[in-house]
Chain A
Amino acid sequence: MTAPFFKYGFFGEDISLVVAFAIGIGFGFFLERAGFNSAKKLAAQFYFKDLTVFKVMFTAIVTAMLGVYYLSVFGVMDLGLVYLTPTFLLPEIIGGFILGIGFVVGGYCPGTACVGAATGRIDALVLFVGIFAGVFGFNEFYPLLKGLYLATPMGQLTLPQVTGLPYGFIVFAVVLMALGGFWGAEWVEKKMAARKVEASS
């Protein structure tokens, strides 16, 4: 058992920044490959025209989930050392909803805005500046927002802990859900495309 490498002290803080840069490059590369530099493509998700966002996101989640699961089961990786953001249910639900509204209003999420801006999208750059304003505003009003921000702390919590079901069962359920979703997404896209042809003829 030697992974995560950083937590086992294989390299220090400075090297970790180089790793960060390299991983960021990979992240940005595949986001662009998927077409996430285009707000039109991203927003089409919410009008059922192009469900690429859903497909890419859930393929990535399933890939990483299976990878983490099997590496841990085979004893290559210590899952207990991987950072889990503690759950604060209420602010996370509210934050997710606000971010979702921002997504359809602005057309990007923070990560895709970076990629959009890097490939010349001016709206992505403006949105990125908007994020700065939003975070700045939050921080300035932090004393007022603190109560809500720290509400309903539940510690590090995973779905297997919540449901009481075995980890492997949840993994399988997520895979099934994703595959079902992909099948549905392909069906919806075909339907919408057919309707468009009908309307234009």
Chain B
Amino acid sequence: MESRPAQPYWNPYLSGIGLGLVLLAAFVVMGRGLGASGAVASTITAGLNTVAPGHVAGNPAYAEYLKDGTSPLKDWLVFEVLGVFVGGYLSGMLAHRVTRTIEKGPNITNKRRLVYAFIGGVLMGVGAKFGRGCTSGQALSGGALLNAGSWAFMLMVFAGAYAFAYFMRRQWQ
């Protein structure tokens, strides 16, 4: 089974319609959009709250995630992101695309690629906090609701990525 070749990806427009319908389902059933980065903040708050509860209570950036005394992990986005992992794995498994690998261009070492991935993650964490969401929560969900801030955010994501693409070309090409 593992030796079977990976299937090609779907037509992007069909995958897009699939994503759009999932997003629409979230609006219709829950009255809210999708997200990803918010779950990270909840998880961090939950982790810190068990290690250093005093520290968490003193910082308004965390207090918001404590809500009404229930665990911050009992959160909509946390469960949604768990689902994303499961859904991604299911789809990848069905198409024989689950392989342990590091994605990179031919001109960069594995170690360097992982360092870049980490730096990219840090930037993304900070950016998602300032932007009140990431590509899922702001660009996608807010974009579909014609949220003004979300569209500004989305344009800036593309602007930032294209602006720095030149400096990163050795990593990918």
Question: Are A and B physically bound partners?
Answer: yes
A158 to B148, CA, bound (A): 5
B57 at the interface (CB under 8 A from A): no
B83 at the interface (CB under 8 A from A): yes
Instruction: Count chain B residues whose beta carbon lies closer than 8 angstroms to a beta carbon of A.
Output: 120
Give the interface size class of chain A.
35 or more
Which of B16, B82, B118 is within 8 Å of A63, CB to CB? B16
Distance (Å) between the CB of B161 and the closest chain A CB?
4
User: Of all chain A residues, which has the CB nearest B28?
Assistant: A3
Answer whether A100 and B148 are a contact pair too, CB < 8 Å, given A63-B16, A127-B120, A135-B40.
Answer: no
Interface Cβ pair total, 8 Å cutoff: 534
Instruction: Tell me what chain A mostly uses at the interface: helix, strand, loop, or mixed.
Output: helix
Distance (Å) between the CB of A118 and the closest chain B CB?
4
B81 at the interface (CB under 8 A from A): yes
Residues of chain B within 8 A of A4, CB atoms compared: 27-32
Distance (Å) between the CB of B138 and the closest chain A CB?
7
Answer whether A96 and B16 are a contact pair too, CB < 8 Å, given A24-B81, A25-B86, A60-B140.
Answer: no
Q: Quick check: B124 and A39 within 8 Å, CB to CB?
A: no
Answer whether A62 and B20 are a contact pair too, CB < 8 Å, given A32-B92, A119-B98, A130-B124.
Answer: yes
Binding site for A on B (CB under 8 A): 9-10, 12-34, 36-37, 40-41, 43-44, 59-62, 74, 76-92, 95, 97-105, 113-114, 116-165, 168-169, 171-173
